[in-house]
């Protein structure tokens, strides 16, 4: 049985300060828990007090991202399901909007007995976790399967909204990892608890249509209820494969059209333009995060504009700000051209010429201005001019080959200056792998390289395909920089 959850408005006794954000996916394997974990760390690093709630009781995943930051004995600690059993046992039947609801206020502080502090890097003791329960204990499956969600809901109809009110008074952000599919607990997490709903999905019809359907149900349920909080929905496409350019662009266009209609319907906003949002807010597939639970915001030491960390930061800024989705990036219109400096070895001159041909449309539209030693004037001192342009560049493209690795001037002068400015946050360095060489044994291994998956240009079916991949990625970097 699925619940249609009707909730009441929040009282003014404990004014709501924090936000309840639910992360939901219709199917598993979308990277939902990974996205929640990265956003939680970023918020905590920014000084926010954050509680993560693992409400995916059947397949809890949040603790796996934080195992090295959790104290001994964590596995034996009780969690969310134990909290609900305790509430069911200790609380009497409480009628909706009655004086007996005051009993909830005295019960909710026991929530803290089930919360664990997560001592993750640079989170300033601000990160906390409410686990699902003792998932490895014998009988856990029976425990979560036998809890009567429907009877508990009708026993205390205001329980979940009152609990949300309490939690939002204790934390700046409460991030809920919801169960997949259409379930009783999923309904509670998506329709009753949050004021913001993040829908994580992969680029296929089943995943997207499932989340779209949930978005309609959640917003409509909130409007039919007595809860006066607006519910803002955020779509977060994940596992986006960058190797398939045409398929990706076709899918993104279709996705943009669909969510434009959906936002117009749900929020009655005419003339919505979601182009900026669709282009920038997408979690790419990264093979380096496919084999174990790692956090990009902690693993990626360099905040490269093409990294997962950068996307999580952008989405986190949107999620915590006041700007609605359809206004994302629209106020950043006119920008000076992005200055690009290209460093390469003499033997790679032809590769530079071919790359510049693919970047020519961006030069013509004024989005970029490329400088290379082609600009040097014969008879004039060249080194001061080169250094001046290097020091004013926004993006440094390093064309990487065995010749480049053996270039004393490139490594001793150009890259040295570029790295110093990069450490000061004054430029972005993008290595472009032209030919097979041991670039992984150099400082370049710390940067997000191109083409996709560090596949050298010489190894692509055609050079044009490789340079198109590079140019497309650079365009994304430039647009992200202009909208930062």
Per-residue tokens: 240: 């986006």
Q: Is the pLDDT of residue 311 over 90?
A: no
Stretch 7-13: mean pLDDT, rounded? 37
What pLDDT was estimated at residue 289? 77
> Over the stretch 383-422, which tens digit does the pLDDT of each residue have?
888 888 888 899 999 999 999 999 999 998 899 999 998 8
Local structure of residue 337 (DSSP, 8 states): P
Local structure of residue 348 (DSSP, 8 states): G
Cα distance between residue 84 and residue 86, in whole Å: 5
Q: Is the pLDDT of residue 331 over 60?
A: no
Q: Residue 15 CB: number of other CB atoms within 10 A? A: 10
Query: CA triplet 303, 307, 312: central angle to 5 degrees?
Result: 85
Cα distance between residue 246 and residue 255, in whole Å: 14
pLDDT: which is higher, 248 or 129: 129
What share of the chain has pLDDT > 90, as a percent? 50
Q: Residue 96 CB: number of other CB atoms within 10 A? A: 14
Per-residue tokens: 18: 């924090």
What pLDDT was estimated at residue 328? 75
Q: Is the pLDDT of residue 333 over 70?
A: no
272 Cβ contact partners less than 8 Å away, ≥ 6 residues apart: 260, 263, 264, 326
CA pseudo-torsion sign 320, 321, 327, 332: negative
> Over the stretch 211-248, which tens digit does the pLDDT of each residue have?
999 999 999 888 888 777 888 999 999 988 877 778 88
pLDDT band at 377 (very low <50, low <70, confident <90, very high): low
What pLDDT was estimated at residue 296? 85
Residue carrying the six token digits 């070895």? 345
User: Which superfamily, per CATH, for 338-482?
Assistant: Toll/interleukin-1 receptor homology (TIR) domain (3.40.50.10140)
CA 205 to chain centre: 21
Task: Provide the residue ranges of all domains of the chain, joining segments of one domain with +.
Answer: 19-327, 338-482
Q: Is the pLDDT of residue 11 over 50?
A: no
What pLDDT was estimated at residue 169? 93
| Three-class secondary structure of residue 171 per DSSP | coil
Phi, psi of 422 (to 5 degrees): -65, -40
Q: What fold characterizes domain 19-327? A: Rossmann fold (3.40.50)
pLDDT: which is higher, 35 or 324: 35
pTM: 0.67
What pLDDT was estimated at residue 376? 66
> Over the stretch 255-294, which tens digit does the pLDDT of each residue have?
999 999 999 888 887 778 888 888 888 888 877 777 778 8
| Three-class secondary structure of residue 195 per DSSP | coil
Asked which of 324-328, 370-374, 479-483 is least confident by mean pLDDT, the reply is 479-483
Per-residue tokens: 379: 């008879």
Same fold, 19-327 and 338-482: yes
The residue among 270, 161, 259 whose CA lies nearest residue 215 is 259
pLDDT band at 149 (very low <50, low <70, confident <90, very high): very high
What pLDDT was estimated at residue 482? 66
What share of the chain has pLDDT > 70, as a percent? 92
Cα distance between residue 84 and residue 79, in whole Å: 9
What pLDDT was estimated at residue 62? 94
> Over the stretch 449-464, which tens digit does the pLDDT of each residue have?
999 999 999 999 999 9
């Amino acid at each position: 049985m699925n619940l249609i959850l009707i909730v009441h408005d929040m009282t003014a006794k404990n004014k709501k300060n924090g936000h309840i954000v639910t992360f939901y996916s219709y199917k598993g394997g979308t990277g939902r828990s990974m996205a929640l974990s990265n956003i939680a760390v970023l918020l905590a690093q920014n000084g926010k007090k954050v509680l993560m709630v693992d409400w995916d009781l059947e397949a809890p995943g949040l603790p796996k991202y934080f195992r090295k930051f959790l104290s001994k004995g964590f596995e034996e600690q009780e969690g969310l399901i134990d909290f609900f059993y305790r509430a069911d046992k200790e609380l009497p039947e409480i009628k909706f909007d009655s004086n007996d609801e005051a009993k909830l206020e005295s019960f909710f502080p026991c929530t803290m007995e089930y919360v664990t502090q997560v001592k993750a890097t640079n989170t300033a003791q601000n990160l906390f976790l409410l686990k699902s329960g003792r998932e490895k204990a014998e009988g856990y499956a029976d425990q979560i399967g036998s809890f009567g969600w429907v009877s508990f809901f009708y026993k205390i109809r205001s329980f979940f909204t009152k609990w949300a009110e309490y939690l939002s008074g204790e934390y700046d952000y409460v991030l809920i990892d919801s169960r997949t599919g259409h379930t009783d607990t999923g309904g509670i997490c998506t329709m009753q608890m949050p004021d913001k709903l993040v829908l994580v999905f992969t680029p296929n019809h089943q995943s997207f249509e499932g989340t779209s359907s949930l978005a309609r149900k959640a917003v409509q349920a909130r409007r039919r209820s007595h809860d006066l909080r607006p519910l803002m929905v955020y779509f977060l496409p994940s596992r986006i494969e960058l190797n398939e350019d045409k398929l990706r662009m076709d899918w993104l266009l279709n996705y943009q059209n669909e969510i434009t209609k959906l936002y117009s319907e749900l929020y009655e906003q005419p003339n919505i333009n979601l182009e900026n949002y669709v282009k920038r807010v997408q979690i790419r597939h990264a093979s380096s995060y496919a084999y174990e639970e790692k956090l990009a915001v902690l693993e990626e030491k360099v905040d490269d504009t093409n990294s997962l960390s950068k996307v999580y930061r952008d989405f986190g800024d949107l999620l915590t700000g006041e700007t609605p989705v359809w206004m994302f990036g629209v106020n950043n219109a006119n920008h000076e051209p992005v200055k690009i400096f290209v460093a390469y070895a003499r033997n790679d001159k032809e590769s530079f010429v071919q790359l510049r041909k693919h970047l020519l449309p961006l030069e013509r539209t004024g989005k970029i201005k490329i400088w290379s030693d082609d600009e040097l004037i014969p008879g004039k001192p060249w080194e001061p001019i080169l250094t001046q342009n290097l020091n004013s560049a926004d993006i440094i493209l390093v064309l990487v080959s065995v010749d480049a690795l053996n270039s004393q001037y490139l490594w001793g002068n150009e890259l040295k200056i570029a790295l110093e400015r990069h450490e000061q946050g004054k430029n972005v360095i993008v290595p472009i792998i032209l030919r097979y060489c041991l670039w992984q044994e150099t400082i370049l291994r710390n940067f997000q390289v191109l083409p996709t998956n560090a596949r050298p240009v010489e190894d692509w079916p055609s050079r044009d395909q490789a340079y198109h991949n590079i140019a497309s990625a650079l365009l994304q970097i430039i647009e992200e920089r202009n909208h930062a």
